[in-house]
Structure 1
Amino acid sequence: MDDNTRYEAVRSRDGRFDGVFFTCVLSTGIYCRPSCPARTPKRENVRFQSSAAAAQAAGFRACRRCRPDAVPGSAEWNVRADAVGRAMRMIADGVVDREGVAGLARRLGYSARQVQRQLTAELGAGASALARAQRAHTARLLLQTTQLPITEIAFAAGFSSVRQFNDTMREIYARTPRELRREHASRTPVRAARGADGTSTQGRVALRLAYRGPYAAREIFDFLARRAIAGIEEVTGEPGARTYRRTLRLPYGWGVTEVEERTPPGGTWLDCRLTLSDLRDLTTAVQRTRRLFDLDADPGAVAERLAADPLVGPLAARRPGLRSPGAAEPGELAVRAVLGQQVTVSAARTLGGLLVAAHGTALPVRDGGLTQLFPEPGELAEAALAELPMPAARRAAVRTLCGALAEGGVVLEPGVCRDETERALLNLRGIGPWTAGYIRMRALGDPDVFLSGDAGVRHGLLAVAASGASDAAWRPWRSYAVHHLWNAPPAPAPNRAPNPVTNPVTHPMTDPMTDPMTKEPRP
């Protein structure tokens, strides 16, 4: 996009570009999201930045009306596999807050100077500035949704000193932390420090997770509900008004995230509540929840590419805003992918429940139906797994995978090189193309994975009379095409004996054509 195209998006208040670029207004000294409801500034008074951090570094303050620091992340970082895209995924997960710029550079395999140079050239701000902008947003959330002392909020948000915290908040929001809290309390009272049951709510944070519409919430909650493992996940309520809840193992402790299917008419967010044993995990917990629900996707770009295809286009039109769910815990998803080889979704869920019951870490306090954290890879690598009723070869594959995860032979985290990770997975005995592709699609959030050997995909292609279709036209959104094919209506039954393959809508993992060594679907 050039600046004139960006200005037209601002004039039309196009929410599709929220988070893609930011509007800086010279006459007021503030920066906004493109969809800001304020009066459109004159073209000569507008400059554009590709990140909130760059706008802040240029001396602009965040708009009070549109809150540009709370926009969805750019889908570009999920698509891009280069160093900048990988760095942005790591920064969002809190790597700079925990390990500094040097830690980020070490994970990327570059020098700190190279990382700073590449980020500044692309985004107008380096890793420190990008992380600082994220810390400020985290601090604002804590100020406005908890009664934590301001000093504790400063360190929970990742600031190294109270003075740095105060200076940053005044610079970005043109208000002190106390003024931010007082202003919000005048509109929405801060929750009491203790809940109705007498338990402390100091570690509970309520927030809205923004997304670009449309959003096919029903399909996402259906997908997660069918796979919810007892003890670590639960879905309550009726369709249209459900709540998804799950436990999280986080860098500083544990947490519980719960997301509501209900959204206000015309809303562009999901309501979320987080319970955290350590509030320093807030940024990481938010990002993991966003990845699970694929909230940084660009449904407009996906629809534009898929709608032009005569085969998948009708499916995309049927379900606008269909997302490709990620994973809250990548290592857990990898283990579940192996458990799901050649069994139904229901059977895989049962196996997962047995695994959690035998090896999971108990929560200090039961939270509804949530009682456990998913087992750590190191423990499963040494376990016999005799409680799992499945072939010995698959138990061995689980142990092999967990050993590689524990020892660092396979790394599943935001920002890793997806190609290298897939190659490392394929080198493990018992991991074939389907499992590696499924892990890449969900655990690594790759939007461009096509599971050619998947039974559900093949049945979806049959439903649209495209068994020999090429997936090249769906790049770089092939993962979304896979979900559309999984949700395709069943093809008309032929006049012959019933096919024993399970219905792909409820079970996209079963395939009777397997490789005898890996028990994997053949391409």
Structure 2
Amino acid sequence: MDEETRYEAVSSRDARFDGEFFFAVETTGIYCRPSCPAVTPKRKNIRFYPTAAAAQGNGFRACRRCRPDAVPGSAEWNVRADVVGRAMRMIGDGVVDREGVPGLAHRLGYSSRQVQRQLNAELGAGPVALARAQRAHTARVLLQTTALPVTEIAFAAGFGSLRQFNDTVRQIYARTPSALRTEAGTGLGAAAREARTAGVPLRLAHRGPYAAGDVFDLLAAGTVARVEEVCGEPGARTYRRTLRLPYGTAVASVDERSAGNWLDARIHLTDLRDLTTAVQRLRRLFDLDADPYAVDELLATDPRLAPDVAARPGVRSPGAADAEEFAVRVLVGEAAAGELAAAYGKALDVPCGGLTHVFPEPGALAGADVGRELRALAAALADGGVRLDAGADRDEAEQALLRLPGIGPAEAALIRMRGLGDPDVDPYATPGAHRWRPWRSYGVRRARRGRGQPQTTAPSHAPVTSRHAKSSTSTE
């Protein structure tokens, strides 16, 4: 998009571009999302930025009306396989907060200087600034939705000191942390323990129409016992699952019913430092950063899919909350995966409904009494022979998976599509799918439903062990 096109989007308050770019107003010192309801500024006073971090780095503070920090992420980062796209996915997953820029660069296979230069050149902000913008958003959410002490929020959001936290909040929001909290009316009187018990309520924003029913149908058809469940009637269901996170564990719930461009969610964390990572994993699972306008526009040109696009706009291609767990599920099936969770997963201190365990990490399965194929996969995941993290190189990951016993092209493609969130994969060799590029993952969803085929597949494998036999339950 050129700047004149961006200005047209701002003038028409076009929400399709929220998160794709930001605009800042030189006369007010404020930056906004394109759909901001305020009076459109004159063109000469506007500057455009590819990220919120770039606007913040140039001295602009977030608009109080449109909350530009709360927009969906750009769909571009899910599409792109280059270093910038991979870096953005990893920053969203909290890698910079946990490992610093050197850790990010090591995962990307570049030097810190190279990563800094590429991100600055394309996004107008380096990895530290991008992570800082994300930390500020996390802090605002905690300030305005919980009664946790400010000091605890500062470190939970990833800040290294209370001073750094205060300075950042003042710069980005032009208010003190206490003022942000007062606006939301959360107060300071409740105990931190009570806040943790209630969990962190969230609105997970999405762009454009969202066919929630299809996503919940898919999740309900393939739940892993003890780890996830879907409760309620269609149209008002709640998806719940446990999460294994860098600092602890969590129980997350997401509601199907929504009154706006978001899904209501709640996350119960054992360690608040995991909030950013947990949110990003839910966003990937529910495919909330997709651009349904671009996807549906292309798929509607295919006569086979056009009626379905018109009837059900906003069909998503769900990802996975834990890519390593999903790879195991593809190999063994959901029923056997539930048995593995019971045998080798970490039990919750307090069961939550049908949720009792967190799925085992690969290291726990690599030396377990399981079949050769599963041990090989678990060992490759544990030692880094197969990388399925948020910023993994998708081509390399697929090739590494294909070298493992029991994983063929269909299984590797399925893991790539859901585990790695690739929007352009067809695990089912669908005739004519090349016409749907770069959105084959979305076309496959529509095509299989349109032919009355299940949205799932059940790869045929040998039993994992006599104890954890492969189920006939479908994996996808």
Q: Which moved more, 1:47-56 or 1:313-322?
A: 313-322
For the Cα contact (< 8 Å) 2:324–2:381, is it kept in 1?
yes
Please tell me whether residue 505 in structure 1 is matched to residue 467 in structure 2. Answer: no
1:140-151 to 2 correspondence within 5 Å?
140-151=140-151
Q: What one-letter code is carried by the residue in structure 1 that aligns with 2:202?
A: L
Paired with 1:282 and 1:172, the residues of 2 have a C-alpha distance of 20
Query: Once the 2 structures are TM-superposed, how far is the Cα of residue 189 of structure 1 from its aligned partner?
Result: 6.8
Aligned to 2:468: none
Q: Report the secondary structure of 1:272's partner residue.
A: strand
Please tell me whether residue 333 in structure 1 is matched to residue 333 in structure 2. Answer: no
Q: Report the secondary structure of 1:451's partner residue.
A: coil
1:292-307 to 2 correspondence within 5 Å?
292-307=285-300
For the Cα contact (< 8 Å) 1:203–1:276, is it kept in 2?
no
Query: Once the 2 structures are TM-superposed, how far is the Cα of residue 350 of structure 1 from its aligned partner?
Result: 2.1
Aligned to 1:369: 354
Pair 1:507–1:174, CA change in 2 (3 A)? closer
Q: Which moved more, 1:221-230 or 1:279-288?
A: 221-230
Q: Report the secondary structure of 1:201's partner residue.
A: helix
Q: Report the secondary structure of 1:398's partner residue.
A: helix
2:337 to 349, 352, 356: 352
Aligned to 2:272: 279
For the Cα contact (< 8 Å) 1:78–1:446, is it kept in 2?
yes
Q: Report the secondary structure of 2:165's partner residue.
A: helix
For the Cα contact (< 8 Å) 2:83–2:108, is it kept in 1?
yes
2:244 to 246, 249, 252: 249
- Deviation string for 1:459-482 (max 9, x for gaps)? xxxxxxxxxx43222111000011
Aligned to 2:386: 410
1:379 to 364, 382, 385: 364
1:8-19 to 2 correspondence within 5 Å?
8-19=8-19
- Deviation string for 1:13-63 (max 9, x for gaps)? 111100000010111110000011111111111111000000000111000
Aligned to 1:81: 81
> What TM-score do the two structures reach when normalised by structure 2?
0.94
Paired with 1:508 and 1:337, the residues of 2 have a C-alpha distance of 9
For the Cα contact (< 8 Å) 2:202–2:265, is it kept in 1?
yes
Aligned to 1:480: 442
Paired with 2:232 and 2:255, the residues of 1 have a C-alpha distance of 10
Q: Report the secondary structure of 2:447's partner residue.
A: helix
Q: What one-letter code is carried by the residue in structure 2 that aligns with 1:372?
A: H
1:201 to 196, 199, 219: 196
Paired with 1:94 and 1:322, the residues of 2 have a C-alpha distance of 28
For the Cα contact (< 8 Å) 1:203–1:279, is it kept in 2?
no
For the Cα contact (< 8 Å) 1:148–1:202, is it kept in 2?
no
Query: Once the 2 structures are TM-superposed, how far is the Cα of residue 184 of structure 1 from its aligned partner?
Result: 1.1
Aligned to 1:498: none
1:30-69 to 2 correspondence within 5 Å?
30-69=30-69
Paired with 2:352 and 2:401, the residues of 1 have a C-alpha distance of 35
Q: Report the secondary structure of 2:263's partner residue.
A: strand
Q: What one-letter code is carried by the residue in structure 2 that aligns with 1:7?
A: Y
Q: Report the secondary structure of 1:487's partner residue.
A: helix
Unaligned runs of 5+ in 1: 340-347, 386-394, 458-468, 491-503, 513-523
Q: Report the secondary structure of 2:320's partner residue.
A: coil
Q: How many residues align?
A: 461
Query: Once the 2 structures are TM-superposed, how far is the Cα of residue 376 of structure 1 from its aligned partner?
Result: 1.6
Paired with 1:189 and 1:294, the residues of 2 have a C-alpha distance of 34
Aligned to 2:433: 471
- Deviation string for 1:481-523 (max 9, x for gaps)? 1111221143xxxxxxxxxxxxx226433689xxxxxxxxxxx
Aligned to 1:310: 303
Paired with 1:427 and 1:100, the residues of 2 have a C-alpha distance of 32
For the Cα contact (< 8 Å) 1:145–1:190, is it kept in 2?
no
Pair 1:182–1:256, CA change in 2 (3 A)? same
Paired with 1:201 and 1:333, the residues of 2 have a C-alpha distance of 28
Query: Once the 2 structures are TM-superposed, how far is the Cα of residue 229 of structure 1 from its aligned partner?
Result: 1.4
Paired with 2:169 and 2:47, the residues of 1 have a C-alpha distance of 23
For the Cα contact (< 8 Å) 1:144–1:190, is it kept in 2?
no
Paired with 2:82 and 2:327, the residues of 1 have a C-alpha distance of 23
Q: Report the secondary structure of 1:364's partner residue.
A: strand
For the Cα contact (< 8 Å) 1:119–1:127, is it kept in 2?
yes
Q: What one-letter code is carried by the residue in structure 2 that aligns with 1:316?
A: V
Query: Once the 2 structures are TM-superposed, how far is the Cα of residue 357 of structure 1 from its aligned partner?
Result: 1.9
Paired with 2:58 and 2:192, the residues of 1 have a C-alpha distance of 41
Q: What one-letter code is carried by the residue in structure 1 that aligns with 2:316?
A: R
Paired with 1:215 and 1:506, the residues of 2 have a C-alpha distance of 17
Aligned to 1:171: 171
Paired with 1:194 and 1:84, the residues of 2 have a C-alpha distance of 38
1:289 to 265, 278, 282: 282
Please tell me whether residue 233 in structure 1 is matched to residue 218 in structure 2. Answer: no
1:100-111 to 2 correspondence within 5 Å?
100-111=100-111
Paired with 2:304 and 2:138, the residues of 1 have a C-alpha distance of 43
Aligned to 2:414: 438
- Deviation string for 1:252-308 (max 9, x for gaps)? 0000110011101xx100001000000000000000000000000000110111111
Q: What one-letter code is carried by the residue in structure 2 that aligns with 1:107?
A: R
Q: What one-letter code is carried by the residue in structure 1 that aligns with 2:384?
A: G
Pair 1:424–1:280, CA change in 2 (3 A)? same
For the Cα contact (< 8 Å) 2:411–2:459, is it kept in 1?
no
For the Cα contact (< 8 Å) 2:147–2:195, is it kept in 1?
no
Q: Report the secondary structure of 2:202's partner residue.
A: strand
Unaligned runs of 5+ in 2: 462-476
For the Cα contact (< 8 Å) 2:147–2:187, is it kept in 1?
no
Query: Once the 2 structures are TM-superposed, how far is the Cα of residue 200 of structure 1 from its aligned partner?
Result: 5.8
1:173-188 to 2 correspondence within 5 Å?
173-185=173-185
RMSD: 1.7
Query: Once the 2 structures are TM-superposed, how far is the Cα of residue 396 of structure 1 from its aligned partner?
Result: 2.2
Query: Once the 2 structures are TM-superposed, how far is the Cα of residue 315 of structure 1 from its aligned partner?
Result: 2.8
Query: Once the 2 structures are TM-superposed, how far is the Cα of residue 210 of structure 1 from its aligned partner?
Result: 0.4
Aligned to 1:224: 219
For the Cα contact (< 8 Å) 1:205–1:274, is it kept in 2?
yes
Q: What one-letter code is carried by the residue in structure 1 that aligns with 2:220?
A: A
For the Cα contact (< 8 Å) 1:203–1:277, is it kept in 2?
no
Aligned to 1:500: none
Paired with 1:426 and 1:190, the residues of 2 have a C-alpha distance of 54
Paired with 2:377 and 2:450, the residues of 1 have a C-alpha distance of 32
- Flag the structure with larger Rg: 1
